[in-house]
Amino acid sequence: MEKSVIKFSHCNKDIYCFFVPEECPECSVSFSGRRLEDAPVSIPNPFSDGHKNPCSFLVAPTEGTFLKDFEGDSDLHTGITDTKGVVYNYTKTGVRKDSVGWEKCISVPLVQPDMYSLIDQWDRYLDNFDEEKHNCYSYSLAFINCVLATQGKRSLSKEEFSQNFVVPRIKRASKYSMLCEQISQNYFYIVENPPKEPEDGNST
Ligand SMILES: [Zn+2]
């Protein structure tokens, strides 16, 4: 089980760590018996086990790291899961079906849980889909567009799909990885958090 990142605020700083310390790493005020101004919040882990995410688009880091900037042409490996979590992914030697190896990746769910007829057909669509593509990303996107067509929906361009569904998740994942790395090295990752504007009573 991986450690999860938590965040709390003190000294006008946002402090990220794996455990809330006994005292503030900035001002050394002891937290024992006193309340933090804001309850620590846990930062959701953006990575999940792809094999447990049926009917999803997956992005796996290559070489164990995510690239800082994802343009859709980078060498991140992508795939599509069937209803049992087997990952169909396009490689130079053809489409592979992986039952293992996608345990830590970013997952974009492609169907709503109540889309029964689509889920029913999903594996058949995936098995019959063997378009020649030049990389795993265009293969995955072509499959998504094929499914959209069966639903009478218009297809998505690579840019649309990347910008709306992939890039925001990659950014979150990159930041999360950076936090974990920093905290592992220094126990804390501390960033400036300027005092909030005075409440005007209307803000949420
Ligand atoms: Zn402090």
- Is residue 156 domain-shared with residue 186, that is, in the same domain? no
- Is residue 33 domain-shared with residue 64, that is, in the same domain? no
Half-sphere exposure of 61 (CA within 13 A, CB side): 20
Q: What is the tally of structural domains in the chain?
A: 2
For residue 13, the model assigns a pLDDT of 92
- Is residue 120 domain-shared with residue 75, that is, in the same domain? yes
- Is residue 57 domain-shared with residue 104, that is, in the same domain? yes
Question: Is residue 184 one of the residues assigned to a domain?
Answer: yes
**Model confidence pLDDT, tens digit, residues 69-112:** 444 445 688 999 999 999 999 988 889 999 999 999 999 999 99
Instruction: Tell me if 17 sits within 8 A of 180, measured CB to CB.
Output: no
Cut 0.85: pTM above it: no
For residue 48, the model assigns a pLDDT of 94
Chain-centre distance of CA 181, in angstroms? Answer: 17
Distance 163 CA to ligand 1 centre (A): 38
Domain range holding 25? 6-45+176-192
Distance 72 CA to ligand 1 centre (A): 41
- Is residue 103 domain-shared with residue 160, that is, in the same domain? yes
- Is residue 145 domain-shared with residue 104, that is, in the same domain? yes
State which residues of the chain have pLDDT below 70. 1-2, 34-38, 62-75, 195-204
- Give the whole-angstrom CA distance, residue 160 versus residue 44: 25
Distance 27 CA to ligand 1 centre (A): 4
- Is residue 22 domain-shared with residue 77, that is, in the same domain? no
SS3 188: coil
Distance 36 CA to ligand 1 centre (A): 10
Task: Return the exposure string of 92-119: e unless at least 16 CB atoms fall within 10 Å of the residue's CB, then b.
Answer: eeebeebeeebeebbbbebbeeeeeebe
